[in-house]
Amino acid sequence: MIATFKYLLKSLREYKKDVALTWLFVLLETFCEILVPFLMQFLVQSIQIVSGVADASSLRTFGPLVQWFVDAINQTGVASPFIYGGIMAVMAALAAMCGIAAGYWSSSASAGLGKNLRHDMYYQVQRFSFNNIDKFSTSSIVTRTTTDVQNVQFAFQMAIRGVIRAPFTLIFAIIMSFITSWKLAFVFVAVVPVLIVLLILLATVVHPIFERIFRKYDDLNEAVQENITGIRVVKAFGRQEEEKEKFNAVSDFLYKNFLKTEKIMAFQSPGFSLLIYGSIIAIAWFGSNIILKSNSAEMNTSGLTTLFSYVMQVMMACMFISMIYVMTIISRNSAERIVELLKETPEINQPENALKEVKDGSIDFENVSFAYGNGGKVLQNINLHIKSGQTVGIIGSTGSSKTTLMSLIPRLYDVNEGTVKVGGVDVREYDIESLREAVSMVLQKNTLFTGTIEWNLRWGDENASMDEIKQACQIAQADGFISSFKDGYQTMIDEGGTNVSGGQKQRICIARALLKKPKILILDDSTSAVDTHTDSLIRQGIKEVIPGTTTFIVAQRILSVKDCDLILVMDKGIITEMGNNEELMEKSEVYRDLYISQIGGGDFDAAE
Amino acid sequence: MPPSRGKAMARKPLSAKESKGTLKRLFSYIFKYYKFEFWMGITCILVSTITGVIPALLTGQIVDQLDTALKTMNEYIKAGNQIAATNTMNEALAYIGIEILIVVGIILVGLTCNYFYQILMSKLGQGTMKKIRDDLFNHMQDLPLSYFDTRTRGDLMSIYTNDVDTLREAISRSLPMLVQSSFTMIVVLVSMFIRSWALAIAVIVLVIPTVLISKTVSGKSGKYFISRQAAMAKTNGYVEEMINGQKVIKVFNYEKRAKAGFDKVNDELCYHATKASRYASLLMPIVNQLGNLQYVIIAIIGAGIIVSGGASWTNITVGTIVTFLSLSKQFTQPIGNLAQQASSVFMAMAGSARIFALIDTPAEKDEGYVELCNAIEGKDGEPIECQETTGKWAWKHPHGDGTITYTWLKGDITFTDVDFSYVPGKPILKNISLYAKPGQKVAFVGPTGAGKTTITNLINRFYDIEDGKIRYDGININKIKKKDLRRSLGMVLQDTVLFTGTVKENIRYGRLDATDEEVEAAAKLANADSFIRQLPNGYDTVLDKAGMNLSQGQRQLLSIARAAIANPPAMILDEATSSIDSRTEKLVQEGMDAIMKGRTVFVIAHRLSTVKDSDVIMVIDDGEIIERGNHDELIAKKGKYYQLYTGNSIK
């Protein structure tokens, strides 16, 4: 656990100075603050003397340092309540200033740590290959960079001051108690360990229970979410009453368990008070004995007031120590998740002396096999030679690894065996950026980003002219609907592109890919939501306007691939048949079956 | 398709009047169920706070007694009377000892009360929360679908996650603290006045700057926190969007620009976070040290009064000063708490207002009175009601004159001139008339948004029609109890929804009393049996996250089985589009075909074979039936159907 936090703290970098300053000022603040109750006894004593309650001659003596200080003040001759009051006021002011300074630096230190952690993680993710991303899953990466960093940041902000403040308050307060009355100070020595142990024990017992309850609570919320998502099904089957019963049962479970835990937690406050009051009473009783029996020589009544004040400070410090403990436990999981991401090694790296030029769009797969992570092979012994400018269709059921095959071309994954060549050269010899510049892939799970349509299209080419953008959109059959929008190309896309229809989104994505002017274009099931007619217009456009581009069309619809120069039929990671439409109709039963069941059927739903 | 969902609900703070109403409502919950806990809790808090000031009073008392004893002792010693001095000392100690014992007793009572008040309050808090949570969910089940259409799932969920949570915090923590803090302030104030009115006034005067400073600082820092929150949301939003699109970033070599964009929002967040936290951390040192300053001033004022001879009429001793040192602290502390807890209670009020708004939304109305009942065939073929399951059903139709007629459940459905709109004035369906005889298959085809799904939603009364009539076996569906109407109609939706639970439980959702054999039979009929058997635990495999561990096609098969087990006379099917892979698609197709047999079926069709098999095809466009007939008739017509069928537009 310590190693985890140590690793995180590496990201402090330029904020180390802020941490050091925080600690310095917290130390000073704590010191000044602890002096205030100590000085209190002199203030009270001086009041006792001026009011005639006590005799100046009956003053007790302290150790040399404190005695020297008391003598020096007595010699000034000024009415001493004001002197002591003045010194205390100065201490309070100093403590306030140091406290503010500590807050100032601790703020920048914790915000800085948060910033650097987010920065390190985000930059790390940018280096990730597809394999790395798959391993963590996007949603987990998002949680790690947002929620987990926030948890750690808040814990750090609490801890950074507390780790100095709480122990030093304890130490200073106990030292000053010893100076005031070494006998009575043993009350603290007895109570403090008990208190700390009890608090930490309580936290250790209760925290896991709470964690369990909250997990159940999350389950409940998940069930609600499921219910809301499926409300049509619930209503269609008339299952409202059963859903209620189910919910109320979990809700009841939560209620009972919350209650159980709170019954344990209910001991904390009275227990804590018991120790405080117990200490006060012990000090009062033994103090009274010491004072009376020694006739104020060992300690006087004003010393009692100092000790009474320290009771509170010492107890609060103990409380804080247990709080830091709990915070550490809470943030531990987050810290571990962050470190795990930071320690991940990016899988695909830039080769040395990388080639920057992709000659043409020819592609060769030579004995290629591939597996995701440690899983089984999803591609086996693929041999395939595509000439530059060919149009290739790929068809096959889900899980037949069509997408995987395509992903190897822009080196989104590295092969396990064999070689993938683009333009006659192994993809691993290219500069990654140049390779991906030449290969344009429209992903199956495609995304548009918040911004205007034009801005989104410019992902393909930052410097494209408006004419080029329009031309790409015309090929992708997107210009028409974009122009029909009120704001045309300046229409804002909502996050995730939810304000355009599925088919429109796909067409914008195709246009974006076309703008790269690639040598190789891969359309991975990119027109599934586009109606058959528009689909054919897009294919026609690509063929006519950019004929030299090698084009791959991965599709579920026979209609989308039937005119390709070459059609691959895939099944379970193997190319089972290849040829053009006529050849496959002849020799492939699978293809023929698909053809018959689909052609003519079209898709009644997709027309817009 | 229902109207698009609105923007996220506005989350604005409530007006004073609204919060008052909400608070009242909340208390009505507490009083309804937890009156005893409430008053007992309040009593316990009161006792525990009163006993809380005792130690402060005790310490002052002891200091005074010690001082007096010491003075007397020293006078005896000066006079040489050592025995009297010792006696004085022993008397004082005995007296203090008795005092301490009494105080220990009082404190123990106080601590017991403290314990009980916590238990009572947690019962009250958690119990009220459970009641509210249950009411919230139970009422939500009864809301009409239109309620769900106009809100995003995120909006509804945030009521459960955020609003219920803040309310729980407020009820179980802030509210008791609020009560305790106010009591403490009152009790301390009273004791201060009893002990010395002059110093009490001094404390009050000295507290004013503390309150003012806290208020200014927390008001200002609140503003900074809002901008920090905004910056945080912006950064998190950016990260979320970019990482979700990370693969696109890779493909487009966008890494450098993505980093630059990130650095901008991240730096901004750091700036705001630092500022907000710096401002907030001003508060603690200032308030703490003002407390210490307050100490000094009280001590000096007290000293001044004693020295100037005011002790006799102000009743101030050194012990009083010592007592006030603790009391003033006990007085100041709750002020900070009060401010903090009050703001959290106000936040919770805004949340509870949203909770109560949902609870107050009118539930789906059901004025139906015609019920579905088991029946056996009478002599002349008429249905006769019976209790046991016969596999035959009849509509039980009570009439105004007290007579009851029975009609066989056959699955005969007619639409007569039906108009419908989600939003008044924006008609979705116009003048729809159609009929389906028992056992007929009616296919709806047409472009997205034409209104196909809407028609099916009207049959089972997910929505109520605006004009016209829908009859089921000759009965106006408005007269049929919704639960019974829906029971008689099976439904397979396109975006399949399954629930967390085992495969078996999911299928049984269609008919809760189905036996295991019936579950398997339904799965076999739906063609789902073979894949279920291949799952790790067969029918007992738990579906995580609503079946996300299954493929879309497999989920579809399960939902067909779920509909099949209910064995309804009529079915509504929404065929999946081509996103299912071809292997499973074949299974789904066969499953669908199997359950369509012998039933009245409304199918939103995408597959040619389904359409060809239909008795009648309705081509829907823009809310109207533009063509009707069977496949051959429509092909011959060369209209919209022809165009959809061939995938070619007609020039």
Which domains are delineated in chain B? 16-360 (1.20.1560.10), 371-408 (no CATH), 415-646 (3.40.50.300)
Per-residue pLDDT, averaged over A5-34, amounts to 95
User: Which chain B residues touch A53 with a CB distance below 8 Å?
Assistant: 67, 71, 317-318
pLDDT over 50 at B61, yes or no = yes
pLDDT over 60 at B625, yes or no = yes
- Name the percent of chain B lying above pLDDT 70: 93
Give A51 to chain B, closest Cα distance, Å: 5
- What local confidence, expressed as pLDDT, does residue A367 receive? 94
Q: What is the tens place of the pLDDT at every residue in B28-56? A: 988 999 999 999 999 999 999 999 899 88
- What local confidence, expressed as pLDDT, does residue B490 receive? 86
- Most confidently modeled of A65-69, B262-266, B455-459? B262-266
User: Which chain B residues touch A533 with a CB distance below 8 Å?
Assistant: 647-649
Query: What pLDDT band is residue B651 in, cutting at 50, 70 and 90?
Result: very low
Per-residue pLDDT, averaged over B147-158, amounts to 83
Per-residue b or e along B567-579, where b marks 16 or more CB atoms closer than 10 Å to that residue's CB:
bbbbbbbbbbbbe
Per-residue pLDDT, averaged over A532-540, amounts to 85
User: Which chain B residues touch A250 with a CB distance below 8 Å?
Assistant: none
User: Which chain B residues touch A506 with a CB distance below 8 Å?
Assistant: none
Note whether B247 contacts A437, CB cutoff 8 Å: no
User: Which chain A residues touch B66 with a CB distance below 8 Å?
Assistant: 288, 291-292, 301, 304
Per-residue pLDDT, averaged over A281-293, amounts to 93
Give B274 to chain A, closest Cα distance, Å: 5
Give B391 to chain A, closest Cα distance, Å: 18
Cα–Cα dist B33/B127, whole Å: 8
Instruction: Please tell me which residue, A409 or A560, carries the higher pLDDT value.
Output: A409
Note whether B285 contacts A142, CB cutoff 8 Å: no
Query: What pLDDT band is residue B419 in, cutting at 50, 70 and 90?
Result: very high
**SS3 state of residue B616:** strand
pLDDT over 70 at B10, yes or no = no
Tell me the backbone φ, ψ of residue A377, rounded to 5 degrees: -65, 130
pLDDT over 50 at A71, yes or no = yes
- What local confidence, expressed as pLDDT, does residue A446 receive? 80
Closest chain A residue by Cα to residue B234: A146
Cα–Cα dist B49/B198, whole Å: 23
Q: What is the tens place of the pLDDT at every residue in B357-405? A: 999 999 888 888 998 888 888 888 888 888 877 778 889 889 888 888 8
Q: Residue B538: left if φ>0, alpha if ψ -120 to 50, beta else—which one?
A: left
Q: What is the tens place of the pLDDT at every residue in A393-407? A: 998 876 678 889 999
Of A226, A496, A594, the CB nearest to B546: A226
Going A446 to A447 to A452 to A454, the CA torsion angle's sign is: negative
Of the candidates A88, A322, A304, which has an alpha carbon nearest to the alpha carbon of residue A185? A304
Give A382 to chain B, closest Cα distance, Å: 22
Q: What is the tens place of the pLDDT at every residue in A477-490? A: 999 999 989 999 99
User: Which chain B residues touch A145 with a CB distance below 8 Å?
Assistant: 239, 243
Of A85, A266, A445, the CB nearest to B115: A266
Asked if B369 and B482 touch (Cβ cutoff 8 Å), the reply is no
Per-residue pLDDT, averaged over B433-450, amounts to 83
User: Which chain A residues touch B553 with a CB distance below 8 Å?
Assistant: 398
Per-residue pLDDT, averaged over A492-504, amounts to 80
Q: Which residues pair with B627 in a beta bridge?
A: B619
- What local confidence, expressed as pLDDT, does residue B649 receive? 44
Amino acid occupying residue B611: V
Query: What pLDDT band is residue B612 in, cutting at 50, 70 and 90?
Result: confident
Query: What pLDDT band is residue B23 in, cutting at 50, 70 and 90?
Result: confident
Q: What is the tens place of the pLDDT at every residue in A422-447? A: 999 999 999 999 999 999 999 877 88
Of the candidates A191, A157, A199, which has an alpha carbon nearest to the alpha carbon of residue A173? A191
Count chain A–chain B contacts defined by CB atoms under 8 A.
445
Mean pLDDT of chain B: 85
Mutate to test the interface with B, among A15, A558, A604, A608 (most CBs of B within 10 A): A604
Give B116 to chain A, closest Cα distance, Å: 8
Mutate to test the interface with A, among B66, B158, B181, B251 (most CBs of A within 10 A): B251
Of B89, B249, B577, the CB nearest to A605: B577
Cα–Cα dist A122/A125, whole Å: 5
Cα–Cα dist B443/B371, whole Å: 28
Per-residue pLDDT, averaged over A174-182, amounts to 92
User: Which chain A residues touch B63 with a CB distance below 8 Å?
Assistant: 301, 304-305
- ipTM of model: 0.85
User: Which chain B residues touch A36 with a CB distance below 8 Å?
Assistant: 292, 295
Please enumerate in sequence order all residues whose Cβ is within 8 A of that of A452, keeping only pairs 6 or more positions apart, or say none. Answer: A487, A489, A490, A491, A492, A493
- What local confidence, expressed as pLDDT, does residue A153 receive? 92
pLDDT over 70 at B642, yes or no = yes
User: Which chain B residues touch A410 with a CB distance below 8 Å?
Assistant: 251
Give B118 to chain A, closest Cα distance, Å: 6
Note whether B326 contacts A308, CB cutoff 8 Å: yes
Instruction: Please tell me which residue, A209 or A25, carries the higher pLDDT value.
Output: A25
Per-residue pLDDT, averaged over A120-143, amounts to 89
Cα–Cα dist A450/B318, whole Å: 70
Note whether A447 contacts B245, CB cutoff 8 Å: yes
Note whether B448 contacts A501, CB cutoff 8 Å: yes
Tally Cβ neighbours within 10 Å of residue A196.
17
pLDDT over 80 at B626, yes or no = yes
Quote the pTM value. 0.80
Give B380 to chain A, closest Cα distance, Å: 33
Asked if A358 and A435 touch (Cβ cutoff 8 Å), the reply is yes
Per-residue pLDDT, averaged over A357-385, amounts to 90
Note whether B243 contacts A142, CB cutoff 8 Å: yes
User: Which chain B residues touch A312 with a CB distance below 8 Å?
Assistant: 329
Which of B15-24, B123-132, B171-180 is the least confident region? B15-24
Give B268 to chain A, closest Cα distance, Å: 10
**SS3 state of residue A128:** coil
pLDDT over 90 at A264, yes or no = no
Q: What is the tens place of the pLDDT at every residue in B471-519? A: 999 899 999 998 888 888 888 877 678 888 899 999 998 888 889 999 9
Asked if A563 and A551 touch (Cβ cutoff 8 Å), the reply is no
Closest chain B residue by Cα to residue A25: B285
Query: What pLDDT band is residue A597 in, cutting at 50, 70 and 90?
Result: low
pLDDT over 60 at B580, yes or no = no
Q: From start to end of A408-536, where are the E strands?
A: 417-422, 425-426, 439-442, 451-452, 492-493, 520-524
Per-residue pLDDT, averaged over A303-331, amounts to 88
- What local confidence, expressed as pLDDT, does residue B1 receive? 44
Per-residue pLDDT, averaged over A10-19, amounts to 94
Tokens linked to A459: 């992902």
- What local confidence, expressed as pLDDT, does residue A204 receive? 86
- What local confidence, expressed as pLDDT, does residue A45 receive? 87
Per-residue pLDDT, averaged over B195-221, amounts to 87
- What local confidence, expressed as pLDDT, does residue A372 receive? 84
pLDDT over 50 at A606, yes or no = no
Note whether A594 contacts B311, CB cutoff 8 Å: no
Of B107, B240, B282, the CB nearest to A277: B107
User: Which chain A residues touch B448 with a CB distance below 8 Å?
Assistant: 501, 605-608
Closest chain A residue by Cα to residue B290: A92
Note whether B134 contacts A248, CB cutoff 8 Å: yes
Cα–Cα dist A67/A59, whole Å: 11
Of B148, B274, B493, the CB nearest to A111: B274
- What local confidence, expressed as pLDDT, does residue B576 receive? 63
Query: What pLDDT band is residue B146 in, cutting at 50, 70 and 90?
Result: confident
Of B66, B269, B303, the CB nearest to A115: B269
- Name the percent of chain B lying above pLDDT 90: 24
Of the candidates B540, B513, B510, B538, which has an alpha carbon nearest to the alpha carbon of residue B522? B510
Give A468 to chain B, closest Cα distance, Å: 17
User: Which chain A residues touch B270 with a CB distance below 8 Å?
Assistant: 111-112, 114-115
